[in-house]
Amino acid sequence: MSDRVTLSVIKADVGSVCGHSRPHPKMMRVCEDVLKDGVKAGTLNDFYVTRVGDDINLIMTHNRGENNSSVHGLAFEAFQTAAKAAREMKMYAAGQDILKDAFSGNIRGMGPGAAEIEFKERGAEPVLVFMADKTEPSAYSMPLCRIFMDPFTTTGLVIDPRAHEGFKFEIVDVMDSKKIVMSTPEESYDILSLLGDTTRYAIKRIYSKHADVGVGACVSTEKLNLCAGKYVGKDDPVCIVRCQSGLPAVGEALQPFMFPQLVAGWMRGSHYGAWYPCSVEDSDPSYFDGPPRVCSLGFQISHGKLQGCEDPDSPLGVHKPVDYFAGSVWDEARRKAVKASIYMRQHGPFMPGILGPEEMEYTTRPAVLKKLQDRMEKID
């Protein structure tokens, strides 16, 4: 076991009340029970169970490193137990993200998504966990570029000596099942040349180039790996951003979300809608199964455990992270997101209201074309 701490955020949609809205509280509770047993057994140091829209997010700390089979097995057991509860209650899409029944050592390829970072705990260790519903991993590309590459967002890139050295970006190419590590600031334009194509490229990880700092960010990209050759990874991704002291400040990491960019997903995973920053409580999709939501929860990692701002008299194990997008400052972004989403909706089934043909999660086009093939005439 390592003296380094691992923060694992593993998520899945295993069913929800009335369409793709929110998991039943019983489903969250059974996840908590499984993870409590994981703490007792020494697999985990600590955990917090939360959700965004219909996705359950397990936020866990331990000393077992990334891709640990005991930790992944525990998360899978939690989701399977929650899926069972969902089926018993006849929840909508019960067991949606459980693609396989038998666990084989790693959650990757089984349906759930995972973002994990391992690091040596600093004197103070602030982390943000972003959780999104109704969108895809490449949605994080624009905000992460602003946070780690853009000095007009992160003044720290100019004035913090360690952040000033720049960062390494691990970028995945979904179509070719490839990855590449690129360096900022010198390769910034090349990085943007790739990441601007959100249908093909996404960020997996960002590292500091300074020897003492380590990992800065990680995104869950599991479905992208699964679906190599075709971009269908609208797996409602999570993203961890580690902050301060050589990394972007918390406020620098939050700032880009004030722009409600258009992201792919939304209704039936087949539309562009504006990303709506909100509290966990406000994350139920309420307009055309959206607009796509993003939440941001802040913790300190302290002695290998999660530390929020809970009252010490509250029940043990119940953490209270800072729910950053709950505040009224974000009303402005929400208002813009709703306005942009209404505008996009007015396109109905026309692009760019709907996604390009390669990205649609639902389509009738092959069947329609087949039906029409005899009537389709060549133009001279």
Q: Which residues are catalytically annotated?
A: 13, 231, 234
CB of 178 to Mg ion, least distance (A): 27
Q: CB 139 → ligand 13P: shortest distance, Å? A: 13
The answer to whether 267 contacts ligand 13P (rule: CB under 6 A) is: yes
Q: CB–CB of 98/10 below 8 Å? A: no
341: CB partners within 8 A, 6+ apart: 266, 273, 274, 276, 287, 288, 290, 291
User: In the complex with ligand 13P, which residue's Cβ is closer, 13 or 187?
Assistant: 13
Residue closer to Mg ion, measured from CB, 86 or 250: 86
Is 289 a binding residue for Mg ion by CB under 5 A? The answer is no
Helix (H) or strand (E) holding 333: helix 331-345
**Cβ closest to Mg ion, residue 93 vs residue 180:** 93
Instruction: Match 């600093």 to its residue by tokens.
Output: 122
51 or 146: CB nearest Mg ion:
51
Q: Please spell the DSSP secondary structure of 120-174, one letter per residue.
A: ---SS-EEEEEEEESB-GGGGHHHHHHHHH-TTT-THHHHSTTGGG-EEEEEEET
Report the C-alpha dihedral over residues 106, 112, 118, 122, rounded to 10 degrees. -150
Binding positions for ligand 13P, 25-84, rule CB under 6 A: 53-54
Exactly one of 11, 13, 46, 116 binds ligand 13P (CB under 6 A); that residue is 13
Contact partner, 267, from ligand 13P, Mg ion, none, Cβ < 5-8 Å per class: ligand 13P
- Phi and psi, residue 48, nearest 5°: -145, 130
Please give the residue whose beta carbon sits closest to ligand 13P in the complex.
Answer: 249
Which residue in 264, 5, 284, 255 sits closest to 125, CA to CA? Answer: 5
Tokens of 307: 């530390």
Residues 102-141 within binding reach of ligand 13P (CB under 6 A) = 133-134
Q: Which does 249 bind (CB under 5 to 8 A by kind): ligand 13P, Mg ion, none?
A: ligand 13P
249 binds ligand 13P (CB under 6 A): yes
Q: Which amino acid is at 100?
A: K
Q: How far lies 108's CA from each of 68, 291, 293, in Å?
A: 11, 27, 24
CB of 14 to ligand 13P, least distance (A): 10
Contact predicate 198/138, CB 8 Å: yes
Tokens of 21: 């809205």
Give the shortest CB-249-to-ligand 13P separation in angstroms.
3
**Is the peptide bond preceding residue 237 cis, with omega within 30 degrees of 0?**
no
Please, what is the minimum distance in Å from the beta carbon of residue 340 to ligand 13P? 18
Q: Choose which of 216, 269, 291, 298 interacts with ligand 13P (CB under 6 A).
A: 269
Residue 236 binds ligand 13P (CB under 6 A): yes
Structure tokens at 190: 């090349």
**Rounded Cα gap, residues 47 and 60, in angstroms:** 4
- What is the end-to-end Cα distance of the chain in Å, rounded? 71
Among residue numbers 289 through 308, which ones bind ligand 13P (CB under 6 A)?
A: 289
Indicate whether 11 belongs to the interface with ligand 13P (CB under 6 A): no
CB of 15 to Mg ion, least distance (A): 8
H-helix or E-strand spanning residue 48? strand 46-52
Asked if 20 touches ligand 13P (CB under 6 A), the answer is yes
By the rule CB under 5 A, 359 interacts with Mg ion: no
Q: Say which entry of ligand 13P, Mg ion, none residue 208 contacts (CB below 5 to 8 A, set by partner kind).
A: none
Q: Residues 46-65: x/- map of binding to Mg ion (CB under 5 A)?
A: -------xxx----------
Q: Are 107 and 72 in contact (CB under 8 A)?
A: yes
Binding-site residue total for ligand 13P (CB under 6 A)?
15
Q: Which residue is nearest to Mg ion (CB)?
A: 20
Helix (H) or strand (E) holding 296: strand 293-302
Q: Least separation, in Å, of the C-beta of 348 and Mg ion? A: 23
Binding site residues, Mg ion, CB under 5 A: 13, 20, 53-55, 93, 133, 236
Binding region for ligand 13P (CB under 6 A): 13, 20, 53-54, 96, 133-134, 236, 244, 249, 251, 267-269, 289
